[in-house]
Amino acid sequence: MKEVRTIKERVYSRYLQKKGASKLSDWKNILTQLTTSEGKAEALDDMMVLDLSYANFSGNVTASFLAEAGAEVINIEPPEGDPSRIMSPYGANVKGVGIPYLMESRNKRQITLDLESPEGQDNLKRLVKRADILIETYAPGQMDAWGIGYRQLRELNPGLIYIAISPYGHYTAKGREMAEMPWTDLTSQAESGLAALVGDLPDAPEPYNWPTRAGFYAAGYTSAVGAACGGLVASFFKRRTGEGQMIDIATADAYASCVGFPPTIGYVWKKPRLRYGTLDYGLCPYGFFKCQDGYVAIACFRDQDFRAALKLLGQWKIEEEWKTLLDRITDDIEKVKELNSVVEKAVSKFTYKQINEKFASYSVKAAGSKWRGGGLPVTTKMMTPDEVLQEEHWQTRGTFPKIAHSSYGIVTLPTTGKMTKTPLRVKWISANIGEDNDYVFEKYGLVKK
């Protein structure tokens, strides 16, 4: 691998020495700037965010994203705490705090307010006057009934950006009808068309052919990134006009609106897709195949990539039958299985290292040659999270900072968002109930009972 990498760098460097290409030193300078966040500005350090998320993890994550970009995020919980604290795989926790909650407690301030009491509401209003963004996940209408909904708070602060996250949203007839339905990631996956597509082929035994959950908060994180994008667009508008607004996210839909395939496919083809196991609706081969020491990706999109893969896997004899992309994106599942099994058999003879070296050196030669029809076969090995943590590449990039906390010890968590001027970063974690009450109450002049 090391040797292949060096050859590849040489090939690319040669391009960079061509007339009109950039100076290698200029490019290297920029890359060096990406490697650290030390001493750099924070993009949102003039922004104050109130996070009222309750039993809905997408709210916590939305606030995290903004906190990593420098916003002052105050997490407001009832005195007994947010139930999300213990939503954790098999209940795993560190001193009573669940793993997902711990991971998303980055750069936040933790305070407690009883929003059902007049004192709590008054304190919230004091904060709202100073705030740019408020995030809430209560049942639609609940905050309004408490007298602290969007239409009341916008009177106090016309620049407030009010982000509401709920399963079916704060408007439409269904939003009203389903207002009391609680959030979960699993039901959001089901409702948004994800679960229907994950699972083994129809002829596989039960329950393996049933709809299956993507093994992480796929719907929750999608809702969160959508909410953060909306909040930042609104904040950009506020910087230009001073105006705030309300933003509505429906977690039962967010995933479908993110990937976009389910509505358009249902409309155009009038036929739902079935679960497709490890096959792919769009391409063949496009998947991970079992090799002698793990699983390896074979993904060929262009015809030249497919030809290259066939040559490298020693399967050139079938090229005629599967020549063009149109041959390989058929809806005939038997044909797909046939091509898939050829690749499966071929791959099973090799180790990952063998395949990777063949593929890498081929693509290096193709990149170096003047003949542009050579194809670019790509591959990688399926990594488990434990293996990912060990990889040099992510260690170099600083993907997994280890953050110390007096109660929880050292916590490892993923972060990403490398930028030359205002990179995202994790500065601290704060996850005890009311951990920052003193700091926040004092700083913003809140009243203690």
Residues numbered 111-130 forming contacts with other proteins, rule: CB under 8 A:
none
Looking at the DSSP bridge assignments, the partners of residue 412 are 402
Q: What distance in Å separates the CA atoms of residue 371 and residue 375, rounded to the nearest whole number? A: 10
413 belongs to the binding site for other proteins (CB under 8 A): yes
For residues 156 and 325, which CB has a smaller minimum distance to other proteins in the complex?
A: 325
Residue 431, Cβ density class (10 Å: 0-12 exposed, 13-18 middle, ≥19 buried)? buried
349 belongs to the binding site for other proteins (CB under 8 A): no
Shortest CB 375 distance to other proteins, Å? 11
Q: Is the dihedral of CA 215, 220, 223, 228 positive or negative?
A: negative
Q: For other proteins, what does the binding mask look like between residues 302 and 341, x meaning CB under 8 A?
A: x----------------------xx--xxx----------
Peptide bond into 285 cis (omega under 30): yes
Q: Is the dihedral of CA 109, 111, 115, 120 positive or negative?
A: negative
90 belongs to the binding site for other proteins (CB under 8 A): yes
Site size toward other proteins (CB under 8 A) is: 199
Shortest CB 109 distance to other proteins, Å? 20
370 belongs to the binding site for other proteins (CB under 8 A): no
Tell me the one-letter amino acid at 336: V
Provide the token pair at 101: 């909650």
Q: What distance in Å separates the CA atoms of residue 396 and residue 272, rounded to the nearest whole number? A: 44
Give the residue from 51, 54, 47, 46 showing the smallest Cα distance to 63.
Answer: 51
Contact window for other proteins (CB under 8 A) among 308-316, 346-354, 371-379, 439-447: 371-379
350 belongs to the binding site for other proteins (CB under 8 A): no
Q: Find out whether 416 and 424 touch, Cβ atoms under 8 Å.
A: yes
Per DSSP, 158 falls in state: T
* Span 30-49, contacts to other proteins by CB under 8 A: 30-31, 33-35, 41, 43-44, 46-47
Contact window for other proteins (CB under 8 A) among 287-295, 308-316, 343-351, 440-448: 287-295
Q: Is the dihedral of CA 190, 192, 197, 199 positive or negative?
A: negative
Looking at the DSSP bridge assignments, the partners of residue 403 are 411
Shortest CB 117 distance to other proteins, Å? 19
* Span 132-191, contacts to other proteins by CB under 8 A: 140-141, 144-145, 149, 151, 163, 167-178, 180-191
* Span 248-277, contacts to other proteins by CB under 8 A: 248-250, 252-254, 256-273, 276-277
Q: What distance in Å separates the CA atoms of residue 314 and residue 348, rounded to the nearest whole number? A: 12
234 belongs to the binding site for other proteins (CB under 8 A): yes
Calculate the alpha carbon distances from 214 to 197, 247, 272 in Å.
Answer: 10, 27, 19
One residue of 304, 361, 376, 441 binding other proteins per CB under 8 A: 376
Contact window for other proteins (CB under 8 A) among 83-91, 119-127, 307-315, 436-444: 83-91
One residue of 20, 39, 118, 242 binding other proteins per CB under 8 A: 20
427 belongs to the binding site for other proteins (CB under 8 A): no
345 belongs to the binding site for other proteins (CB under 8 A): no
For residues 365 and 442, which CB has a smaller minimum distance to other proteins in the complex?
A: 365
Residues 6+ apart with CB under 8 A from 438: none
